[in-house]
């Protein structure tokens, strides 16, 4: 029996990381993450898993970001009761991250159930519950960097610093096939950039049969910067936002991004280079995560301001209570408001955006990658109006982006990391990236490192590859796709929301009610539906292309 590698997530998209290794001694997962992005991608979370969780022997976890661990409670809900193995800092973060994710699942299910009850429809069940998250915590096993473990028969694993977030790891795995031959695999996890305020650069040995590498920033370069230059850029954005007179709203992930931003803001305040009236971290989760960072602060490098010194500044406010969060909405200017989530798709940040986006003197600053279809990406792309909590919200605030806070390696850093890990005797698999980005990285790797085209592979969702020490064997594609690949980047739900906004604008901008009725009559005619109209069309219906032009498409 050969070793088989299955790609159940982060294949054709940047979220939902989940790799399943099947071998003569059993099977295990590397990561089990939540799918994030547009609605079609998020719906994958609710579909049946393409494997039986009860047949798994263990799970190896690269780090605590929800797109790598967020479906662990679903595993537990489906009966999984075995080990989840991560570094000790990762396990410390999971205590809060999984509980927070479960709370979001429960609240979203409750909100949807209320909507359905008004339509006399059946209630919905949450994806998983707080009790499911607690079950995962009971199964956590902590490991140290650089030490071999034997989590199951015929398998050895070793964790290496990935430089991404606290406790993040690349995982080296050795698996024996039925002939007793060892197949060596390196899972990159998410890789951090060279310049980080807290950690050393990513590390791992060289020489594997197979390398599975993330490609989030494939083909894309950020400007080279030092930590001093990064703070200088942040200072410029903050001072400009304060000069404009409104608030500065920063969507930021509760893990890592919030702590780095707080640290840099504290350094800039201490040096007198910025002078905001108040600095809010409005996230109970980020507050708890910051406590984990304090616990493991001996791992950090290049820290200029201790956590105790940082939070002793009277302008810093850690907000946990809902009432205190709502009170922030009364502040019209001079405040920095940081809140989760980093892609603005959930949590309290949506309330702060709804409150500040309509204000022309406000600023919204994005400091990380915004996945296609997320609210953050839609705002960042220049939308004039967005839908938040089922309401249309005009975007009058100044929208800015700062790439220097990304926790991901850019294109040249990814290529350098791969080059240092070579040779890869069998193949390199590029995952955790949109198709355009990983295709660009593939082209560069082939050109730079002299690899054959068949040695750099772009797997799609649920593809399975036989791994032999000498190279890839049989390849199996899923008999039925869980999602149309074309829907991964921008799905029909996004197109529908955009269409409704455009239609609303056309109706509002029409000069007379008769023109509004004519437009609706034209649309009904195109759709083959009927409707009551007091004013039939007074002019011939134009061709479909002309109608789209009128609607601003």
The pair of three-digit structure tokens given for residue 122, joined into one six-digit string: 């059946």
Check whether 485 has a pLDDT greater than 60: yes
Which residues, in sequence order, are CB contacts of 158 under 8 Å at separation 6+?
146, 147, 148, 149, 171, 172
| pLDDT value, residue 535 | 45
Check whether 195 has a pLDDT greater than 70: no
Question: CA 133 to CA 96: how far, in whole Å?
Answer: 10
Of the candidates 36, 82, 81, 32, the residue with the CA atom closest to the CA atom of residue 61: 32
Check whether 184 has a pLDDT greater than 80: yes
| pLDDT value, residue 546 | 35
Check whether 312 has a pLDDT greater than 80: no
| pLDDT value, residue 552 | 34
Q: How many helices (H) and strands (E) does the chain have?
A: 17, 23
Q: Which domains does the chain have, with CATH numbers?
A: 3-220+407-479 (3.60.15.10), 227-405 (3.40.50.10890), 492-550 (no CATH)
High-pLDDT (> 90) share of the chain, %: 59
- Tens digits of residue pLDDT in 505-537: 788 888 898 888 988 888 888 888 765 444 444
Question: CA 416 to CA 81: how far, in whole Å?
Answer: 39
Mean pLDDT confidence for 438-463:
92
| pLDDT value, residue 54 | 96
- Tens digits of residue pLDDT in 278-301: 999 898 887 788 788 778 877 666
Check whether 204 has a pLDDT greater than 90: yes
Mean pLDDT confidence for 150-157:
96
Give the chain's mean pLDDT: 88
Q: Which residue has the tokens 């990983």?
A: 438
Burial class (CB in 10 A: 0-12, 13-18, 19+), 498: middle
- Tens digits of residue pLDDT in 327-386: 999 999 999 999 977 888 877 899 999 999 999 999 999 987 787 778 999 999 999 999
The CA-based dihedral angle spanning residues 12, 72, 251, 168, taken in that order and rounded to the nearest 10 degrees: -80
């Amino acid at each position: 029996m050969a070793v088989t590698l299955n790609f159940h997530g982060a294949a054709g998209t940047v979220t939902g990381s989940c790799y399943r290794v099947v071998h003569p001694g059993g099977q295990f997962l590397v990561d089990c993450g939540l799918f994030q992005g547009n609605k079609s991608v998020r719906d994958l979370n609710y579909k049946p898993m393409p494997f039986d969780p009860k047949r798994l022997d263990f799970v190896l976890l690269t780090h605590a970001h929800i797109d790598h661990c967020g479906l662990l409670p679903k595993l537990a809900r489906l009966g999984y009761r075995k080990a989840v193995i991560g570094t000790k800092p990762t396990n410390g973060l999971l205590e809060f991250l999984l509980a927070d994710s479960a709370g979001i699942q429960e609240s979203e299910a409750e909100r949807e159930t209320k909507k359905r009850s008004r339509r006399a429809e059946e209630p919905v069940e949450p994806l998983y519950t707080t009790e499911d998250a607690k079950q995962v915590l009971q199964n956590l096993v902590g490991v140290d960097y650089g030490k071999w473990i034997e989590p199951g028969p015929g398998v050895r694993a070793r964790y290496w610093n990935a430089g991404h977030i606290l406790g993040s790891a690349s995982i080296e795995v050795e698996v024996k096939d039925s002939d007793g031959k060892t197949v060596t695999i390196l899972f990159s996890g998410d890789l951090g950039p060279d310049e980080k305020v807290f950690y050393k650069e990513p590390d791992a040995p060289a020489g594997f049969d197979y390398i599975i590498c993330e490609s989030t920033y494939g083909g894309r370069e950020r400007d080279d910067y030092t930590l001093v230059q990064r703070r200088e850029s942040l200072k410029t954005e903050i001072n400009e936002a304060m000069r404009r007179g409104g608030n500065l709203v920063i969507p930021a992930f509760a893990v890592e991004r919030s702590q780095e931003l707080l640290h840099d803001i504290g350094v800039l305040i201490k040096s007198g280079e910025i002078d905001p009236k108040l600095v809010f971290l409005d996230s109970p989760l980020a507050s708890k995560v910051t406590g984990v960072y304090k616990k493991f602060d001996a791992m950090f490098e290049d820290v200029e301001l201790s956590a105790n010194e940082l939070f002793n500044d009277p302008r810093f406010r850690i907000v946990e209570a809902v009432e205190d969060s709502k009170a922030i909405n009364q502040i019209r200017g001079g405040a920095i408001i940081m809140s989760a989530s980093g892609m603005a798709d959930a949590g309290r940040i949506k309330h702060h955006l709804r409150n500040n986006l309509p204000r022309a003197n406000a600023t919204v600053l994005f400091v990380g990658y915004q996945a296609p279809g997320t609210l953050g990406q839609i705002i960042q792309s220049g939308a004039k109006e967005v839908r938040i909590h089922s309401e249309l919200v005009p975007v009058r605030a100044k929208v800015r982006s700062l790439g220097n806070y990304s926790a991901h390696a850019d294109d040249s850093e990814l290529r350098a990391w791969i080059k240092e890990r070579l040779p890869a005797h069998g193949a390199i698999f590029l995952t955790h990236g949109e198709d355009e980005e990983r295709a660009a990285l593939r082209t560069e790797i082939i050109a730079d490192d002299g690899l054959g085209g068949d040695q750099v592979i772009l797997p799609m969702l649920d593809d399975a590859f036989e791994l032999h020490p000498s190279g890839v064997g049989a390849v199996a594609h899923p008999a039925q796709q869980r999602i149309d690949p074309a829907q991964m980047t921008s799905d029909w739900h996004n197109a529908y929301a955009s269409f409704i906004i455009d239609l609303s604008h056309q109706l509002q901008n029409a000069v007379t009610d008769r023109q509004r009725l004519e437009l609706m009559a034209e649309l009904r005619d195109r759709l083959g539906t009927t409707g009551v109209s007091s004013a039939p069309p007074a002019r011939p219906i134009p061709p479909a292309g002309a109608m789209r032009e009128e609607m601003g498409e």
